[in-house]
Amino acid sequence: MTGPTREATADLITLPGTPLADAVMDLIRPVETPSVFNHSIRSYLFARLVAGRLGLAVGHDYHDDLLFAACAMHDLGVASDGPHGRRFEVEGADRAATFLTDRGVPAADADQVWQAIALHTSPGIAERRGTLCVLVREGVALDFGGPLGADHVEAVTDEQADAVHAAYPRLDMIRSLTDAIVAQAAKNPKNAPRYTIPGEFLRERETFGRTRLEHACRSSRWGN
């Protein structure tokens, strides 16, 4: 028999069943497109595999609830109900931190989530800001299949990726997420500073009709 067993697959795609995780799901599901929602969940599942690959122990080296919250809410800045008044990474980080503190999460933990979300598009910086930032950055980068420069591509086997994608299909994610980032960036100059991800996405779309990331992902590990 090849590939993961049924039990292993179930473990692979199981999400935290805590009240906080349930509340996060209730927050993001109605306001994100299905493709962005699925991307957020896959990012968590891939981040968890990276943690295992690095020998990190849940409850000791990182808190699973915080990892789930940070991954699941990392694109909350492009959600349909947002104020869209800051670059999407910061807006998402602000919303996530407020959501967590309102539910009794200690300020220090909420700040870790804030940093992980705000820095998830900042390679070379996120990796220097602690375990949670590393795992969120890696999980997100892995879901792009290569162009974002994930450091631990070997953490996810093809069989594991197939199981994750079967549970949470891509649904033209690269295009859908880029559309959302560009739409948010276009609403306010503050949302799209030059040489940032939203700023460059907006300018590339306006100039070329497609971002370099979209072009690169066409030949990436997962495609679009």
Q: What is the pLDDT of residues 156-195, one digit of tens each?
A: 998 999 999 999 999 988 888 888 888 888 888 888 888 8
Element spanning 151, H or E: none
For the chain, the residue count is: 224
Question: Is it the case that residue 5 has pLDDT exceeding 50?
Answer: yes
Sign of the Cα torsion 84, 150, 63, 116 reads negative
CB-CB neighbours of 194 under 10 Å: 8
pTM of the model: 0.91
Residue with the larger pLDDT of the pair 45 and 126: 45
Q: Which residue has the tokens 């690095």?
A: 54
Residue with the larger pLDDT of the pair 183 and 30: 30
Domains of the chain: 19-170 (1.10.3210)
